[in-house]
Each structure stands twice: as C-alpha cells, then as structure tokens.
C-alpha cells in the first residue's frame, strides 16, 4: 500500500501543472496464473483479484498517445497459499485504430513485488498488451499482463500473468472541462450613434471568413478577420493563407493590440488539438511581423469552440486588431 501511495503521489505531483493527461484506473482480473510457487513447484491458476492505478499521458499525436503509469494489484493467492502483491511501474502507449473506434494499448516496465509467505521477493519485468475504447471522459480496456518475480530466500524465480478489465476516468480532461473558458469565440459589435454618444450592441455572429470586418468595441475601432486556409492536422501557412494575411499587414501597423486565436476540428485528442491551435495562432503572428510596441496576445482554443459540423471552418485562426 505504501508503494501505491508513493506512486499516486508522484503522479499527482507531476499533474499539478499538467493535469490534462491524467487518468485514474480501476480493474478486475478475471484470470490469474502463477508459474511457480516459492518451493519451485508449479503454481497454476490463482484467485481473481482487483487492481487500482493511474496513468499520465504527457504526449500525443493525431492517432497516438504515450506516457507513464503505475498500478497496485491485490495479493496473488489461492485456497492454500498467499503470495505477493505487485505494483508495476511502466511506460504506456496507445494507438487509435479504425477511425478511433478502438485503440491498441501496450505497457512495459518494472514490476515491484512485496513480501510473501515463504520468503522475501524481488520484482522483475512487466509487460501488458490489449485493446481499449474511449467513451467520452471514460475508457474501457481488456489487457493481458505478464510480470516476473524472484523469491530471494528460496532462490526461485518465475512469473505470474493475468487477463483483466480496466475501467478508466480521464480526470485531467474532466478538470480541464470544468475550468475551460466558456467565453464566446466571436462577438461582432456595431456602433450606434445616439445623442453624440456611442452605444454598443452585441450580436452573436462570426465574422465571415477571409474578409476584413471593421467594428467598434468598447468605443474603439477594431478590425476582425477569420482565416480558414488550414488543412487537416496542419499548422503551417500555405500560399493562399499568406496572400490573405498580406491584406492584414497594413492594418497591424500602429495598432494598440493584436489578438490571434487558433482553433481546430474535433479529430484527434484534446491535448494534441490544443497544441495544434496554439501552433496555428503563432504561425499567423510570425507571418504578420508585428512591430515592437504593439501588444500581442496569442491564444489556443483547441477543439473547444467549433462553429458547427464543417471541419474546414473549424480549422481556423481569428485575428482581432484594436486600433
């Protein structure tokens, strides 16, 4: 149990800053087997048991993710003997298949084993392979796991393996969803003159893509522009996008503030799309070559603010220029 608390504390410390990829997992082994007991005799089938652990996926791409994890496993035992608890520490990788219908999962690392009847143990290898499926903030996995051990007193070594079901909750994504800024992606403002005073009316609509729109916000003139020349899984500017941005270069000269916000479609993981949206926004800022003295704000919204079902419009960058 101390190993479990240590492992969970380490993961919690890592994810204090990077909470997005944290998953909590609980499982149940429907089959367990022991190759040898501490006397060197054949072990055979063992009782079923539970598992509890966590994973932190710190990197991801269009169809893959990887990270590290740990898991505490209930004691290996049968009607006659009690053997060791296990706690593997491992690297984990996941690869999406069939348009994200399910994913392949692989684990590899070291299995830490606790004391057992008949003598102390030391750990050994740990591997796990299986398939899983994401269901919103949750996932379900079926895994085969194999882990080694050695009985130090009796100089016997072997392995135990299992087949189990793992139920996971994406705690990091849940936290991110709760903390997510729900500010509308675009508010178009029209100026209304009455008694020589400017009155602002808010209209919830998105500036038409690839066209410069002049509005008034908080009594100040503003230029708004939406760029949609991005291909799937691409953060680079093509020639058409550069030609469009050339129209904006005169507008940023002498501006007070330029805000550039990147967006993606919903394909791929939320972590990857967040990084991609930031990359798109930064590419636009770099190309505009904004002069010193102009306040610049670069924002990535990831997949959190789609305009609808059209992925071509969701892959966009919005530019606001306060004059």
CATH 2.40.160.20 intervals, the chain: 2-177
Phi, psi dihedral angles at 10 (to 5 degrees): -65, -45
pLDDT in tens, 63-75: 888 999 999 999 8
Q: Strand, helix or coil at 241?
A: helix
Contact 281, 185 (CB under 8 A): no
Q: Name which of 117-121, 163-167, 169-173, 264-268 the model is least confident about.
A: 117-121
Mean pLDDT of 48-74: 89
Dmax (CA) for the chain in angstroms is 97
pLDDT more than 90, % of the chain: 31
CATH topology of domain 2-177: Porin (2.40.160)
pLDDT of 11 > 60? The answer is no
pLDDT in tens, 133-183: 988 889 999 999 999 887 665 566 778 899 999 999 988 667 655 654 433
In the Cβ-directed half-sphere of 168, how many Cα atoms lie within 13 Å?
27
Mean pLDDT of 50-70: 88
Cα 25 from Cα 4, distance rounded (Å): 13
Q: Tokens at residue 71, please?
A: 């898991």
- 119 has which bridge partners? 116
CATH 3.30.1330.60 intervals, the chain: 183-322
CATH topology of domain 183-322: 60s Ribosomal Protein L30; Chain: A; (3.30.1330)
To the question of pTM greater than 0.85 for the whole model, the response is no
């Amino acid at each position: 149990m101390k190993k479990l608390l240590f492992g969970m504390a380490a993961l919690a410390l890592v994810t204090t800053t990077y909470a997005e990829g944290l998953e909590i997992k609980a499982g149940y082994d429907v089959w367990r087997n022991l190759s040898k007991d501490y006397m060197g005799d054949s072990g055979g089938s063992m009782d079923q048991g539970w598992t509890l652990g966590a994973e932190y996926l710190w990197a991801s791409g269009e169809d893959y993710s990887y990270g590290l994890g740990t898991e505490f496993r209930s004691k290996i035992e049968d009607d006659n003997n009690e053997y060791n608890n296990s706690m593997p520490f491992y690297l984990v990788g996941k690869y999406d298949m069939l348009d994200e219908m399910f994913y392949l999962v692989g684990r590899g690392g070291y299995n830490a084993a606790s004391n057992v009847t008949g003598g102390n143990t030391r750990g050994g290898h740990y591997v796990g392979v299986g398939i899983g499926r994401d269901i919103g903030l949750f996932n379900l996995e079926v895994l085969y796991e194999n882990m080694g051990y050695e009985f130090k007193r009796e100089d016997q070594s072997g392995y135990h393996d299992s087949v189990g079901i793992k139920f996971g909750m994406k705690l990091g994504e849940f936290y991110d969803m709760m903390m997510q800024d729900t500010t509308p992606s675009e508010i178009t403002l029209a100026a209304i003159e009455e008694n020589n005073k400017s009155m602002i009316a808010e209209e919830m609509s998105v500036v038409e893509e690839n066209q410069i729109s002049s509005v008034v916000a908080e009594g100040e003139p503003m230029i708004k522009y939406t760029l949609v020349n991005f291909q799937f899984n691409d953060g680079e500017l093509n020639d058409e996008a550069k030609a469009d941005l050339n129209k904006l270069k005169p507008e940023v000269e002498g501006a007070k503030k330029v805000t550039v916000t990147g967006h993606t479609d919903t394909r791929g993981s939320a972590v990857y799309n967040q990084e991609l949206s930031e990359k798109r926004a930064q590419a636009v800022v770099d190309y505009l070559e904004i002069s010193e003295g102009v306040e610049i704000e670069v924002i990535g919204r990831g997949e959190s603010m789609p305009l609808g079902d059209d992925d071509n419009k969701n892959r966009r960058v919005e530019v606001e220029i306060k004059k």
